Amino acid sequence: MGGRIWVESEPGAGSTFHFAIRAQAAPATRLRRSLRGVQPGLAGQRLLVVDDNATNRHLIQLQTEAWGMEAVAVASGREALALVEGGDLFDLAVIDMQMPEMDGLMLARELRQWRSRQALPLVMLSSLGSQPSIEDVILSGSLSKPIKQSSLYNVLVQILSEQAASLEPATQATTFEANLAQDHSLQILVAEDNLVNQKVIAKVLERLGYRADIVANGLEVLEALSKRSYDVVLMDMHMPEMDGLEATRRLVARWGEQERPRVVAMTAAVLEEDRRQCKEAGMDDFASKPVRVEELVEVLKQCHRRAAVLNSP
């Protein structure tokens, strides 16, 4: 870099390290405002923060919330995908590049594969010397760690201001029918063993106005049905102890057609053989995984309140 480095050391007194380099002067910043408190250009925007480092994640969340943003922070790419697949809408995402299992570049590409997410601006966090190619992963920007407060502010404001002219606010793009539960009341039981998936489906149903009970396997489904009545069971296919198919067979055998709840298979399987097995087990409908809100709404609209009490004699 055309500079020099040296050290001055004295036994018992300590050491002082020096370096000198030539560098191009940075352009004078136009940012004169205080970065404390709510910032008009950021207030009300929903931000998704994805970073496996708890300290970094917490600091970004605290800083952006202080600016008036609504920040949702998760520790992995899988959790981020689960949120977006569950219907959560964001105006911007800040993603760490170095993460286990699914790194930031993989997550960015996954997010771009979904039509509904193509407009989501992505900012990549990376260490010095490992800057990603913005063109390669279609990013809106990047930041080096450790992150400076002013740098974070500048990139967020710039991206959101550029998007404002061409993108509708996330709140206007929502497909949730907030009054669905009021207009179409249902008692819902969710059978799902994966904790992340449990949170996703619960959040989706909550935004539709429903409060669902959640169990982790087929045995717990049968136990729950013996205690109270439900109008519909959203049944995962693959669960420990007792899977969705066996649970449905026992449910159908134990309660009559007029008494039992409607059973909806929650599955990523799309083969005709899989659907045939679900039908033969007694399932009434299908909903894909990951959850698509519009599809789930249509499935729930096919369900109706059942007056029968399912308690065992």
Length of the chain: 313
User: Who contacts 171 (Cβ-Cβ below 8 Å, separation ≥6)?
Assistant: 89
pLDDT at residue 308 is higher than 60: no
CB 191 within 8 A of CB 215: yes
- Please identify which residue in the block is written with the tokens 């949702």: 72
Position 44 scores a pLDDT of 86
Average the pLDDT over 111-128 and give the result.
70
pTM recorded for the entire structure = 0.47
Position 119 scores a pLDDT of 65
How far is C-alpha 266 from the chain's CA centre?
18
Position 35 scores a pLDDT of 63
CB 247 within 8 A of CB 263: no
CB 306 within 8 A of CB 256: no
CB 159 within 8 A of CB 140: yes
Q: Which of 68-77, 179-188, 240-249 comes out lowest in average pLDDT? A: 179-188
| pLDDT band with cut points at 50, 70 and 90 for residue 89 | confident
What percent of the chain stands above pLDDT 90?
A: 35
CB 41 within 8 A of CB 161: yes
pLDDT at residue 115 is higher than 80: no
Give residue-wise pLDDT tens across range 136-180. Answer: 456 777 888 888 888 898 888 888 876 654 444 444 444 567 678
pLDDT at residue 288 is higher than 50: yes
**Strand pairing category for 14-20 and 4-10:** antiparallel
Compare 65 and 41 and report the one with higher pLDDT.
Answer: 65
10-to-15, 28, 259, 284 alpha-carbon distances in Å: 6, 40, 88, 82
- Please identify which residue in the block is written with the tokens 């970065």: 35
CB atoms < 10 A from the CB of 131, how many?
A: 13
Average the pLDDT over 293-305 and give the result.
88
Please name the amino acid found at residue 310: L
Position 110 scores a pLDDT of 82
Give residue-wise pLDDT tens across range 209-250. Answer: 999 999 999 999 999 999 999 999 999 988 889 999 999 999
**Strand pairing category for 213-215 and 262-267:** unpaired
Average the pLDDT over 17-45 and give the result.
72
Position 34 scores a pLDDT of 55
pLDDT at residue 300 is higher than 90: yes
Ordered structural domains, the chain, with CATH = 41-173 (3.40.50.2300), 180-301 (3.40.50.2300)
Backbone angles phi, psi at 132, to 5 degrees: -80, 160
Compare 212 and 267 and report the one with higher pLDDT.
Answer: 212
Please name the amino acid found at residue 246: E
Average the pLDDT over 273-301 and give the result.
85
Position 7 scores a pLDDT of 94
CB 3 within 8 A of CB 21: yes
Position 293 scores a pLDDT of 82
Q: Which of 47-61, 101-115, 154-168 comes out lowest in average pLDDT? A: 154-168
Separation CA 80–CA 237 (nearest Å): 23
Position 243 scores a pLDDT of 92
Q: Name the average pLDDT for the chain.
A: 81
Separation CA 215–CA 189 (nearest Å): 8
